[in-house]
């Protein structure tokens, strides 16, 4: 069937290029604000428009909703066709819908970048965009859902490969989270005050915090975990030629994630006005979350059982194996931080961004980069430009990740210990500025680590660009073709 079926990668290519664009922009801004933390005078370069407060939402939104979600969409339009044995070319409606999805997304991200840079924000973490843009997000997201279920409805392969389950979960989970967290009241139309695009949350006080972190933590679940697991379940077996170690374990891990993750958001609100039982529930479910998370990661590592020589020979597999390792690392660290006694030390410290970035840089970033390297030669029918460049990139970025999270671990624990230190009279030993000046070397190391990671990403972009523009043509049949579901 595959020999007669011509897949259409036009939309996957568009999302692939947007992945690279938003990766450059988001990571460059991230490096900039990392240096601003070490050198505060850098905030004064361009008035209010280059201050940390303006750039930080651009960094998070650019990396999460730009780089990561572009990567998710790109891989869906590649993987979905192949595991379902259907081509977008077969349906003008599905092709039109896929293109509508991309261009709606492109307009949305352009407006988001402009408004956030101008300071138009709801001030809600990972949900800064105002209500008119939220409505456009709904249109864009529904178009992706229709693309998912449309291709499933057209499929020739009756069994749904596990990756498809994860893509469906990502769509449904984020749809639910987004709608409930972004319930907002346009102030102008209710009271006549403020700009027409301004809004306030429908929730207040503790309720707002509860909904926000139910959304915030699970946006990580269904944006940074579930669809990235979908990617590795396809691309690691495809690239290595190995079957997934245990399909049953993949299903157990899937349902474990679906049930447990949704209850863990309360760990963001420990020692707050949230009822104590909800804080405890968040802590308990966070610890339980280790099981399904490690289930997926171990399943991927065991997929390489007996084939570890491929890790040494293939830098693309290096990326995916280390991504799985970082996933295990991050999903152990997070539950540890959710334990109340640990959280008392860690909360509000730099250990938290250290945890976030060993997951995003090591797990999400490495996996999306690996997916791009796998897809590009097959989408364009070109041989990869430079395997040596990919190998160098791997080591540069790995060093960058290690410098980043290790410096933030040390900085965070140092902060926590200094904040709680008291003298013999029970007075605080250190002032807040003492902690800030003490952390300078760690902030500098973080900025250097981020610079190394950005450098590696620019190497990946160059490698992909040269692959598309100047590498020799090669038939896909000459590439590794042992795949999940025969795709």
* Number of domains within the chain: 1
Q: To 10 degrees, what angle do helices 366-380 and 315-338 make?
A: 150
Token reading at 336: 């540890």
Q: Please report whether residue 2 resides in a domain.
A: no
**Containing structural domain, residue 453:** 10-486
Q: Please report whether residue 5 resides in a domain.
A: no
**Phi, psi (degrees; rounded to nearest 5) at 289:** -65, -20
Compute and round to an integer the Cα radius of gyration of the chain. Answer: 23
Q: Please report whether residue 1 resides in a domain.
A: no
Give the per-residue pLDDT at 1: 41
Q: Please report whether residue 177 resides in a domain.
A: yes
Look up the CATH number of the domain holding residue 110.
Answer: 1.20.210.10
Evaluate whether 227 touches 167 at the Cβ level (below 8 Å): yes
CA dihedral of residues 147, 152, 153, 159 (deg, nearest 10): 180
CA gap 282, 334 in Å, rounded: 12
pLDDT tens string, the chain, 487 residues long: the values are 445 689 999 999 999 999 999 999 999 999 999 999 999 998 888 788 999 999 999 999 999 999 999 999 999 999 999 999 999 999 999 999 999 999 999 999 999 999 999 999 999 999 999 999 999 999 999 999 999 999 999 999 999 999 999 999 999 999 999 999 999 999 999 998 889 999 999 999 999 999 999 999 999 899 999 999 999 999 999 999 999 999 899 999 999 999 999 999 999 999 999 999 999 999 999 999 999 999 999 999 999 999 999 999 999 999 999 999 999 999 999 999 999 999 999 999 999 999 999 999 999 999 999 999 999 999 999 999 999 999 999 999 999 999 999 999 999 999 999 999 999 999 999 999 999 999 999 999 999 999 999 999 999 999 999 999 998 888 776 675 555 655 5
Q: Please report whether residue 358 resides in a domain.
A: yes
């Amino acid at each position: 069937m595959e020999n007669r079926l011509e897949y259409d990668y036009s939309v996957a290519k568009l999302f692939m290029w947007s992945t690279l664009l938003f990766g450059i922009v988001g990571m460059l801004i991230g490096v900039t604000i990392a240096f601003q933390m070490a050198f505060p005078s850098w905030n004064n370069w361009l008035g209010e428009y280059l201050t940390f407060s303006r750039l930080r939402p651009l960094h998070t939104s650019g990396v999460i909703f730009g780089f990561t979600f572009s990567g998710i969409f790109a891989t869906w339009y590649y993987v979905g066709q192949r595991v379902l044995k259907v081509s977008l070319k077969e349906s003008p409606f599905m092709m039109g819908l896929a293109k509508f999805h991309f261009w709606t997304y492109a307009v949305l991200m352009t407006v988001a970048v402009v408004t956030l840079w101008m300071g138009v924000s709801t001030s809600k973490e990972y949900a800064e965009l105002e209500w008119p843009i939220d409505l456009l997000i709904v249109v864009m997201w529904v178009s992706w859902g229709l693309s998912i279920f449309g291709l499933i409805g057209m499929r020739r392969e009756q069994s749904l490969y596990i990756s498809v389950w994860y893509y469906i979960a990502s769509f449904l989970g984020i749809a639910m989270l987004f709608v409930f967290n972004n319930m907002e009241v346009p102030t102008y139309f209710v009271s006549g005050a403020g700009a027409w695009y301004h809004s306030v949350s429908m929730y207040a006080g503790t309720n707002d915090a509860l909904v926000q972190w139910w959304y915030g933590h699970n946006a990580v679940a269904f944006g940074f975990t579930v669809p990235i697991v979908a990617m590795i379940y396809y691309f690691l077996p495809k690239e290595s030629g190995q079957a997934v170690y245990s399909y049953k374990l993949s299903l157990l891990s899937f349902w474990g994630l679906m049930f447990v993750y949704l209850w863990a958001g309360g760990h963001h609100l420990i020692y707050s006005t949230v009822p104590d039982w909800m804080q405890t529930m968040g802590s308990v479910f966070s610890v339980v979350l280790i099981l399904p998370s490690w289930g997926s990661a171990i399943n991927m590592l065991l997929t390489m059982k007996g084939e570890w020589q491929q890790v040494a020979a293939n830098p693309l597999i290096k990326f995916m194996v280390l991504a799985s390792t970082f996933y295990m690392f991050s999903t152990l660290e997070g539950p540890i931080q959710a334990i109340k006694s640990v959280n008392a030390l860690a909360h509000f410290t730099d250990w938290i961004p250290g945890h976030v970035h060993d997951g995003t840089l090591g797990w999400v970033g490495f996996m999306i980069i690996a997916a791009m390297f796998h897809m590009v030669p097959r989408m364009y029918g070109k041989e990869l430009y430079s395997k040596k460049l990919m190998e160098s990139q791997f080591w540069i970025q790995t060093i960058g990740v290690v410098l980043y999270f290790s410096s933030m671990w040390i900085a965070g624990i140092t902060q926590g210990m200094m904040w709680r230190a008291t003298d013999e009279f029970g007075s605080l030993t250190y002032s807040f500025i003492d902690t800030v000046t003490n952390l300078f070397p760690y902030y500098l190391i973080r900025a250097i680590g981020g610079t190394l990671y950005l450098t590696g990403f620019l190497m990946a972009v160059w490698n992909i660009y040269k692959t598309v523009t100047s590498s020799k043509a090669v038939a896909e049949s000459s590439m590794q073709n042992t795949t999940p579901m025969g795709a």
